[in-house]
Structure formats: structure tokens, C-alpha cells
Amino acid sequence: MNAVSSNDDYLDLVLKLNVNRGGDRRAPHKPLLLMVSIAKFLQGKTGLDFKEVEAALNPLLLAYAKDSEPI
């Protein structure tokens, strides 16, 4: 993969992010995880702890992916 060198490159990567679909069900785990990661980064975090991410991600999965299983 080539190095990301501009905001447009980041935006392009985000737009290409795959959201898994099974029939008419979607599994937005990746976009939601990206949002949690960005939020933690903006809060000054440089690393992600699984338990902390799990606590932030599970309510989002319940709200936006009702057919998906929480992690």
C-alpha cells in the first residue's frame, strides 16, 4: 500500500472502507470502529485498549447494527 500523503488520500481510503453486507443486513463494524478510533485520537489517546474500545463500540453496534452481535 502506498503512503498516505494528503487529506484527500485519507478521505479516499475512508470512502473505500468496506461495510460487510449479508443479504439485506449490514455490519458497520469497521466504520464505527474508525469513528471510535478518531474520537479517542482527538481526546489525546495514542493507543487503543480493547476494553475501552469495546465499551465505546458496543452501544454503537446496538444502535446502528441491531442485527449484529456485540463484540
Q: Is residue 24 part of a domain?
A: yes
In a domain, 1, yes or no: no
**What is the percent of the chain where pLDDT is above 70?**
79
DSSP H or E stretch at residue 12: helix 7-15
Establish if 70 belongs to a structural domain.
Answer: no
Residue 67: pLDDT band with limits 50, 70, 90: low
DSSP H or E stretch at residue 20 = strand 20-22
Residue 71 belongs to some domain of the structure = no
Residue 16 within any structural domain of the chain: yes
| Cα separations in angstroms, 22 against 8, 11, 46, 68 | 30, 25, 33, 11
Q: Between residues 34 and 68, which one has the greater pLDDT?
A: 34
Range of the domain at 56: 7-64
26 vs 39: which has the higher pLDDT: 39
By CB atoms closer than 10 A (0-12, 13-18, 19+), residue 34 is middle
Q: What is the pLDDT of residue 9?
A: 85
Q: Beta 20-22 vs 25-27: how paired, if at all? A: antiparallel
Number of structural domains (the chain) is 1
Q: Which residue has the higher pLDDT, 14 or 37?
A: 37
Mean pLDDT of 15-22: 76
Residue 45 in domain: yes
